[in-house]
Amino acid sequence: MGPGATAEELDAVVQTVQAAGGSAFVSRGVHRTIVGLVGDVEQFESLNLKAYPGVADVVRISAPYKLVSRENHPAMSTVYVSGVPIGPDTFTLIAGPCAVESPEQTLAAAQMAKSAGAALLRGGAYKPRTSPYAFQGLGEKGLQILAEVRTEVGLPIVTEVVDAHDVDIVASYADMLQIGTRNMQNFGLLQAVGSAGKPVMLKRGMNATIEEWLMAAEYVAQRGNLDIVLCERGIRTFETATRNTLDISAVPVMHSLSHLPVVVDPSHSGGRRDLVVPLSRAAIAVGADAIIVDVHPDPGAALCDGPQALVDTDLDELAHVVRTLPQAVGRSLVLVDS
């Protein structure tokens, strides 16, 4: 639809498609609205939808992922998280504790993240873990802590939701909803977050192909939400020297296939503190739109993923990298007001 299309013009298109026996899925981004048509293509062509008021263009998409493909949207998209951009012209640092443990720990980690140049605060209130005996997060109490820290430091919140039943409560606190690697193909959850009206960060499944990852994003987009950021967090391979294998080539491949921004997670891919900064350099150099990094004021006492959390000199080194290297690839670091 054109940028000035009215609700009545959009409704007329949807009703016409449905009257012809097809289905119309309306997806809204910040700057454009797309109607995805499913059904008899020849029948759609006979409708001459391009002549309808408010319609900017009609494009037949051959890729199985229709709404998130570059065929549908040749220009790269920028996703805004409470005003903070993630897109092709900037570089955004997302940082914070892997898990919210206490108000003091979360505030300290948020202040560390902001000092390093972070524009968004990550923090887990719900933690899906491999072991049922591991720390599972503080739940809504953790969300409340994140909200209080957001007020204190001024960084919008990125936090994970793990169950479709929790989407509404998490969305009431969060600025961006994260889908973790273990839930990438939890289709009910994807549909729920797609209907929640908040930007979504979709992490790649540890065993997922790029097409499977894009099809997961399509589930979110089909429910009306085009504000999706893809996160490469490492995949499972035969290699045991690192926690996961960072597929750095996924960044340019995704940019060639999809208009969605791509984030790299150097913390969960390497799983070691000493690998975070080198992998961050690689992510920036290859064209990532953002990175998401773990920080913790006392990694040795962390309840979740302490060995990969940055502190002290490592965080200082990362701060130098994100303030200097993006310029070399034509980007500027996104900063928030102090």
- 28 and 92 in a single domain? The answer is no
- 35 and 86 in a single domain? The answer is no
- Is 299 a domain residue? yes
Span 142-168, average pLDDT: 96
- 168 and 287 in a single domain? The answer is yes
Residue ranges in the chain assigned as alpha helix (H): 7-19, 41-46, 103-115, 140-153, 167-171, 187-194, 210-222, 250-257, 266-270, 273-286, 313-328
Digit-coded pLDDT (tens) for 185-227? 999 999 999 999 999 999 999 999 999 999 999 999 989 899 9
Q: Which residue has the tokens 């498609």?
A: 17
Span 301-321, average pLDDT: 92
- 258 and 163 in a single domain? The answer is yes
- 253 and 130 in a single domain? The answer is yes
- 277 and 135 in a single domain? The answer is yes
Question: The domain spanning residue 327 has which CATH number?
Answer: 3.20.20.70
Q: What is the pLDDT of residue 312?
A: 86
Rounded Cα distance, 140 and 149, in Å: 14
Q: Residue 289: which of 139, 145, 87 has the closest Cα? A: 87
CA angle 283, 288, 289 (to 5 degrees): 140
High-pLDDT (> 90) share of the chain, %: 80
- 187 and 310 in a single domain? The answer is yes
- Is 65 a domain residue? no
High-pLDDT (> 70) share of the chain, %: 99
- 12 and 160 in a single domain? The answer is no
- 46 and 108 in a single domain? The answer is no
- Is 2 a domain residue? no
Number of compact structural domains in the chain = 2
Spatial neighbors of 144 by CB under 8 A, at least 6 apart, are 173
Rounded Cα distance, 231 and 37, in Å: 27
- Is 56 a domain residue? no
